A and B are shown apart, each in its own frame.
Chain A
Amino acid sequence: MAASVIIVENSEIIRKGMVDILQGSGLFDRIRELSCAANMMEMVSRYQPDVLFINPSMIDGQYRTQLVNGTGHTPKLAAIIYSFHDEALMDAFDEVFPINDSRPRIIKKLNALVKKETRGKTNPDNRLTPREIAVLKLLVKGHSNKEVSGKLFISTHTVISHRKNIIRKLNIKSIAGLTVYAILNGILGIDELE
């Protein structure tokens, strides 16, 4: 089933590049572009897209809430990334697309994203955010809180808070149990384990 998408990105080079990849993926039958965030709310409520691509530097962290409350429709949120953004903001996204991702990788992520249930519809609290998944992946590979903090450029305090959230959401406490979870959900490949 084809889906619709809106891209909000002020760089024309990047926006057109993304449009090209989206068209090539065959996943979307309707692609709309916006070069500034001003009309975004109106567009989302009018066209009810399945996916909304946004450059996070164009919005603030409250945007997701605004989106839900303002339009009555929640698209999946995808971030187009080429600079650093604050963590709380990144947690609002369902998927992250750094601009140096290869085309096959982007298409793979798109596929997963389109199939994914919307957060708002199922169990809003228990889905891991991309950031939590990144933390989980490093933890089950055997890295300490401190090592994870170094690798992801976040404070150990933040790592611990992610860790608590992961445990709360999954209801799995031991690292051994989390490892099984990570493999079951494709977060970690068997070959990635030492």
Chain B
Amino acid sequence: MKDIVVSASMKMADIIMADQRAMQLMPRFGIDLGFGDKTIKEICRERSIDPDFFLLMVNIFLNPHYFPNKKLKSVDVELLLLYLANAHEYYIGEKIPRLCSLVEQFLKVLNHPAKIQLQTFFNEYIREVLEHIEYEEKVAFPYIKKLLLQEENPESNFQEYTILEFDERHDNIEEKLSDLKNLLIKYFPPSNDRYLRIDILNELFDLEQDLINHARLEDKVLIPIVQEIEKDILKKK
């Protein structure tokens, strides 16, 4: 679905038929498959989802060049945080366990001296992803929530942290993931694993796409909005 902007009058099923990645967004909004011919607008109304927010997420997710200038200010930050937290839950609860179990099976059938290093490398990578998520959940998101409270109630204490610190943390994770893909595609000698290696790579490509989207959402939407709020609060001081 290149460069097509999804609008509220489109049918949800058509979006998924055109780009399967849209499927992953459904659970994050609590939408179950089986919605017949309903449009995005109708589904959002039924589920009390803000349709503008849903469209923003879908478009950012499906189209890497989509950049929402106008709508940025109207974005509900609390909704965004909830959405991001749901995505984290999906990584921790579904994606990472599945990947770990595939890699575990692969290592079982693998008979190669580099096996241990691959395992170490993989574990290190997963640990970094989890640490990053934990950092967001325990430091960055709570900070943003406090900032929102403060915006309503300027009397409360101001914190000496800015969202900029959060800005620079995505690179390592993407780098390691790309290394892992390269090792499996190019450098591990042929192994008698049937489809395991392909399954792992499929998961990695998928996770990579998702993480890139996730990072883009944070870098292009969340951080700019929070910076605006920070500025506003400083002005009021």
What residues of chain A have their CB less than 8 Å away from a CB belonging to chain B? 170-174, 176-177, 179-181, 183-185, 189-190, 193
Known: A171-B186, A184-B187, A190-B114. 17 other contacts (CB 8 A): A171-B179, A171-B182, A173-B175, A174-B175, A174-B176, A176-B117, A176-B120, A176-B125, A177-B121, A180-B114, A180-B121, A180-B183, A183-B114, A184-B112, A184-B114, A184-B183, A190-B116
By a CB distance below 8 angstroms, the chain B residues around A183 are: 113-114, 117
Tell me the complex Cα distance, A174–B121, Å: 10
Q: Which 5 residue pairs are nearest across A and B when measured between Cβ atoms? A: A177-B179, A183-B114, A176-B121, A180-B117, A172-B179
Assess whether B113 is in contact with A190, with CB atoms less than 8 Å apart. yes
Residue B36, interface by CB 8 Å? no
Tell me the complex Cα distance, A20–B116, Å: 42
Residue B124, interface by CB 8 Å? yes
With contacts A184-B187, A184-B189, A185-B187 known, is A177 near B182, CB below 8 A?
yes
Tell me the complex Cα distance, A172–B118, Å: 13
Tell me the complex Cα distance, A56–B14, Å: 67
A-side interface mostly: helix
Taken residue by residue from 178 to 191, chain B's Cβ proximity to chain A (1 for < 8 Å, 0 otherwise) reads as 11101100111100
Assess whether B117 is in contact with A171, with CB atoms less than 8 Å apart. no
By a CB distance below 8 angstroms, the chain A residues around B124 are: 176
Tell me the complex Cα distance, A81–B180, Å: 37
Interface size range on B against A? 20 to 34
By a CB distance below 8 angstroms, the chain B residues around A189 are: 113
With contacts A172-B182, A172-B183 known, is A184 near B188, CB below 8 A?
yes
Residue from B116, B117, B124, B183 having most chain A Cβ neighbours under 10 A:
B117
Which A-chain residue is minimally distant from B117 (CB atoms)?
A: A180
* Cβ of A43 to closest chain B Cβ, rounded Å: 37
* Cβ of A194 to closest chain B Cβ, rounded Å: 13
By a CB distance below 8 angstroms, the chain B residues around A172 are: 179, 182-183
By a CB distance below 8 angstroms, the chain A residues around B172 are: 174
By a CB distance below 8 angstroms, the chain B residues around A170 are: 182, 187
Which A-chain residue is minimally distant from B121 (CB atoms)?
A: A176
Residue from A170, A176, A181 having most chain B Cβ neighbours under 10 A:
A176
Assess whether B118 is in contact with A180, with CB atoms less than 8 Å apart. yes
**Mind listing 25 A-B residue pairs with CB under 8 Å?**
A171-B178, A171-B179, A172-B182, A172-B183, A173-B178, A173-B179, A174-B172, A174-B175, A176-B121, A176-B125, A176-B176, A177-B176, A177-B179, A177-B180, A177-B182, A177-B183, A180-B117, A180-B121, A180-B183, A180-B187, A181-B183, A183-B114, A184-B112, A184-B187, A190-B116
